[in-house]
Amino acid sequence: MKEGIEIKLTMLRGIIDLMTSCDDSTELDTLRNVALTALVIVDDISDEYCREQFDEKRTKANNVTV
């Protein structure tokens, strides 16, 4: 995996740790914001991974046709 994805995965792990350490007094808005941030990070990871896979396949296809 590329460094960008690793950084985002580290951020996601931190968010998950934060969510699991919350107690009952944590406000719902805070948890909602943390969950939304996690979803944005997961979406970024997915986009970056797909972009890498597409670039790799395109490079392989270009090498075959050349």
Of 66 and 2, more confident: 2
- pLDDT category at 1 given cuts 50, 70, 90 is low
Which tens digit of pLDDT belongs to each residue from 15-50?
888 877 777 777 778 888 888 888 898 998 889 888
Boundaries of every domain in the chain: 3-65
pLDDT at residue 6 in the model: 86
If you search the block for the tokens 């986009």, which residue do you land on? Answer: 47
pTM above threshold 0.85: no
With beta carbons less than 8 A apart as the criterion, state whether 56 and 12 touch.
Answer: no
**Three-class secondary structure of residue 36 per DSSP:** helix
